[in-house]
Structure formats: structure tokens, C-alpha cells
Structure 1
């Protein structure tokens, strides 16, 4: 999921739900809105290669409501990652509209979309996207630094997020000292640290075995309840679909009815 933006910029059993930590005061880019977090209206996306035009998305319509876990299911090449990129403001439709909390992203400039990604969206990558020389604690702390969260709040928030994903005993470990499932849980803690409204995850269980994949999905369900975040993710793994609130199946750039 890249457009020249660095991964840090866009950058177990689940713990029992606990009291939420004190919200970070941050200037809101978005006016109050009680509708869907995301609305996608007749979105098309095409790319030109030489004299050839490739149609990747062909009339996509969807909604993602608050505090839902929504999955985009499809094989490689179905268009699901292209759609996920546009939901995060990393790419724009060739035609159609994408609204984030009621605001049309195509009307925003690059600077405002970048600010939206830093403050309101968390990204999780298939390959974890952790800084290899930083500990789990330092990786999560880095996301707060990049989101301009006051330093005085870092300790409490980092501890809360790592506890939420079940890693309180691994906070000093670096990525190469952790299993794949543990690295992915650090990536989740990092993605939610700045309290985004939306979490976008690109194949978050693809590199994990079925047991670790189930643990990651349990963490997702827990953070939806505790953090009141909305999650949209891509997958081609049929074993995890049952935990979703809604599944959109894609093939050849369209949703299968």
C-alpha cells in the first residue's frame, strides 16, 4: 500500500475489554458525522500501460459502518488492494466518489489527505512494516511521534496498546526476536496508538498459520470493542470470514452479488 508515502507515515488470546485510556486531544479534520465511516459510490479505476488501458475497478459501491469489521475477499488480481488503497486516500478513483465520514476525498489536496492518514487512519501491512532495530515499545511510540501526540501521553498510551494485543511481556523485544504473530500484534498496536477512526489492513493473516491468524482476528474483535475503531481488511483466507460483520467478495474488479 504505497504512493510514495513511507510505511511509517501511513503508518495469543485477546486481552479482556478494559476501560479506555484518556482520549488524546487533537484538532479534528472532520466535522461531526453520524453516518458511515466510508461510502463508495460507483468507483472505477483504470491504469494506462503504453497504449493499453487496464480497468481494475468497475463500478464499486459499498458502505463501512462504525465499529464494524468488514472484509474484502478475493484472489490476487481481483482489485481488492487497489480499492483498499483508495479507501485510505493513497490513490484516487478514475471516476466515482469515496467519502470518509461524509467528506469526499477527491476534493481534498495531497496535504490534507496526508494529514487524514496520520491522524484518522491506521495501516497494517502483510509484512508488518516494523522498524527492525526498535523494540516493540519503541515501534508503537514512533507512531505517536509521527501523529504529533504530546510526549507526556506516550508512556500510558503505548503501554495500553501493547497490553490490548497481549504483549506486555514482550515490550523490550525487537522484531527478529518475535514470532510472526507477535510481530503482527505489534503492528496492530502501532496502528491504533494514535486513536484512528479507521484501521485498514492488507492481508494481515497471509503470513501466519491458522492458529496465529485466529489470534489476530480475536485481537481485531477486541480492539473494535475497546477502541471503538472500524476495520476494513483484505483477505483470501476463507477460514476467518466468520468473524466479519460484512464480507464483500471481489472478482475481476467487481463485487460478486
Structure 2
């Protein structure tokens, strides 16, 4: 997500006057610090949700008074976070997690015009159409795909076996990847599309292609659509529900 900060996310924040932010999935804290520096300049606040962040959370909390870290799963926390301007969803990259994150955000909106700007990472390969689980036990059994800690490659639906001639080039061998790509309720982009197909809120969705893909979801707003189109030029595709 941090690779999109300078060119995409920060300009949108400034344009829309974003001051209250929820980050799901902080990992090493690179993007977290970018968000905190932005908030410091604009008297904003940041809540970061991650069950196992890999940076010194206590040190960052001491340095930034506008920061709250919550060590938990997003679906256990988001329901109580209402009235925020923007959400950055970059946690567990699977259908169940992303779909239910969006449903909770929708549920928390009393006026659909107040639907926040939502940024979603990994809407392109490899996890657009394939579930990945950092914490498989956190996913209800009825939504969890068969998965293994084996790598993936473009053009291969099946996981790459250790004896495969291309195994050394395979991606993300240390996480649980769904055994097969595609099909119902499989992958981040599938979750977004399923959410948009049933939401009552008129939304626009922009896809930015590099760096595994960034999705930008927001209440339909022609002015903001045009602003984002100019930011991302020919890398953006729009549609509305």
C-alpha cells in the first residue's frame, strides 16, 4: 500500500480533507508512519488494526499522540469504528475478510453520502481471484478454501509443487494460498464485486494496476472521479453501481 502513497493516496486525502483514518494491516509500519506524518500536519488521527504487527508499536505510540494500535482481527474491531473519513484495507487477502470488512463499513454509515473513501490493496494478481490466509483459523470453515503453504505463478491455477521446475520462481510460499484460483467467493476483487452487486449505496470503483493493484471505492462523486482519473491517467477503470 505504501507504494501508492505519494502519487495516489496522499493527494486524494488532501483533496477530500481526510483527517480520520483506519488502517487494516500495518505489517512493518512503513505506511503507518506515512499516515501518521500526514495526520500530524493536519491534526488528524489514525487507528491501525493488525493482530501481529512487525514493528515497535509502543515506540510509535510514544512518538505520535494521534496513533492508536489495536492488536486484533479487523472483523472484531471495525463495527465500533464509525464516522471515519478513510479506510485502508490491506490485511488478510481473502474473500471472507474483505467482503465482511466492506459490509461492516456499509453498516456503520447512517447517511450513504458519508460512505468513507476505501482503499483496497491486492485487487490484481495474485490475489484478485485467489484467497490467501495469514491466519486460517480466523476464517469460518464455510468460507475457507482448501489452502497450503505453496507458491503461486501467473498462468497457473494450481499451486506450484516443490518438485516443479519453476518452483524457485514461485511467489508467497510462506503463506496459505488457496489450492485453486477463480470460482465463487475466492479472492479480493471477487469480494469487492460481490459487495458492490448488493450494496444499496451508489459507489464508484477505480482500479489502479501496478504493484498488485489498488482499488479505490467511494460514494459516487463526479468531481472526485475526475480528480482520480487525472491522478492515475490510463491505469484507471471506472464503473458505478
Note whether the superposition's TM-score is higher than 0.5.
Answer: no
Relative to the length of structure 1, the TM-score reads: 0.27
Relative to the length of structure 2, the TM-score reads: 0.28
Specify which structure has the higher proportion of helix: 2
